[in-house]
Structure 1
Amino acid sequence: MAFTLVSFHAHPDDEALLTGGTLARLAAEGHRVVLAVATDGEAGAAASTYRADGHLADHRRDELGRSAAALGCARVVRMGFPDSGWSRSEQPPEGSFSRLPVAEAAGPLAELLREERADALTIYDPAGGYGHPDHRQVYTVGLHAAQLAGTRLVLEATIDRVLIRRLIRLVEAVPGVLPDVHAADYDAAYTARRDLTHRIDVRRYPEAKRLAFAAHASQASSDEGARTLSLLLKLPPWLFRQVLGREWFVEHGRPPGEPLDDLFASLRTSP
Structure 2
Amino acid sequence: MAYTLVSFHAHPDDEALLMGGTLARAAAEGHRVVLAVATDGEAGAASSEYRADLAAHRRDELDRSAEALGCARVVRFGFRDSGWSRTASPAPGTFSALSSAEAAAPLAELLIEEQADALTIYDPAGGYGHPDHKQVHTAGLYAARAAATPLVLEATIDRTLIRRLIRLVEAVPGVLPDVRAADFATAYTAREHLTHRIDVRAYADAKRRSFEAHASQATSDDDARTLALLLKLPPWLFRLALGHEWFVDHSRSPGRLADDLFASLRRR
Contact 1:97 1:134 (8 Å CA) reproduced: yes
Alpha-carbon distance between aligned partners in 2 of 1:253 and 1:31, rounded to the nearest angstrom: 21
Q: 1:175 maps to what in 2?
A: 173
Residue 16 of structure 2 aligns with an amino acid whose one-letter code is A
Secondary structure, counterpart of 2:75 in structure 1: strand
Matched, 1:24 2:24: yes
Alpha-carbon distance between aligned partners in 1 of 2:208 and 2:183, rounded to the nearest angstrom: 27
Contact 1:153 1:252 (8 Å CA) reproduced: no
Q: 2:112 maps to what in 1?
A: 114
Structure 2: which 5+ runs fail to align?
A: none
Per-residue Cα deviation, 1:98-132 (whole angstroms, up to 9, x for no partner): 00011011110000000000000000000000000
Q: CA deviation at 1:269?
A: 1.5
Q: 1:15 maps to what in 2?
A: 15
Residue 178 of structure 2 aligns with an amino acid whose one-letter code is D
Aligned pairs for 1:181-192 within 5 A: 181-192=179-190
Q: CA deviation at 1:255?
A: 1.3
Q: 1:43 maps to what in 2?
A: 43
Q: CA deviation at 1:252?
A: 2.1
Alpha-carbon distance between aligned partners in 1 of 2:140 and 2:201, rounded to the nearest angstrom: 28
Alpha-carbon distance between aligned partners in 1 of 2:119 and 2:176, rounded to the nearest angstrom: 33
Aligned pairs for 1:166-245 within 5 A: 166-245=164-243
The structure 1 segments of at least 4 consecutive aligned residues displaced by more than 2 Å after TM superposition are none
Secondary structure, counterpart of 2:201 in structure 1: coil
Alpha-carbon distance between aligned partners in 1 of 2:183 and 2:262, rounded to the nearest angstrom: 32
Q: CA RMSD in A?
A: 0.5
Residue 24 of structure 1 aligns with an amino acid whose one-letter code is A
Q: 1:141 maps to what in 2?
A: 139
Per-residue Cα deviation, 1:26-56 (whole angstroms, up to 9, x for no partner): 000000000000000000000011002xx00
Q: CA deviation at 1:219?
A: 0.3
Alpha-carbon distance between aligned partners in 1 of 2:160 and 2:241, rounded to the nearest angstrom: 13
Q: CA deviation at 1:254?
A: 1.3
Q: 2:84 maps to what in 1?
A: 86
Residue 233 of structure 1 aligns with an amino acid whose one-letter code is L
Alpha-carbon distance between aligned partners in 1 of 2:258 and 2:221, rounded to the nearest angstrom: 41
Secondary structure, counterpart of 1:65 in structure 2: helix
Q: CA deviation at 1:225?
A: 2.4
Residue 10 of structure 1 aligns with an amino acid whose one-letter code is A
Aligned residues: 268
* 2:103 counterpart (102, 105, 108): 105
Aligned pairs for 1:143-162 within 5 A: 143-162=141-160
* 1:63 counterpart (43, 61, 64): 61
Alpha-carbon distance between aligned partners in 2 of 1:31 and 1:154, rounded to the nearest angstrom: 16
Alpha-carbon distance between aligned partners in 2 of 1:63 and 1:239, rounded to the nearest angstrom: 24
Per-residue Cα deviation, 1:207-265 (whole angstroms, up to 9, x for no partner): 10000000000000000121000000000000000000000000022111111000101
Q: CA deviation at 1:80?
A: 0.4
Alpha-carbon distance between aligned partners in 2 of 1:6 and 1:257, rounded to the nearest angstrom: 26
Alpha-carbon distance between aligned partners in 2 of 1:108 and 1:248, rounded to the nearest angstrom: 26
Identity %: 78
State the TM-score, normalized to the length of structure 1: 0.98
Structure 1: which 5+ runs fail to align?
A: none
State the TM-score, normalized to the length of structure 2: 0.99
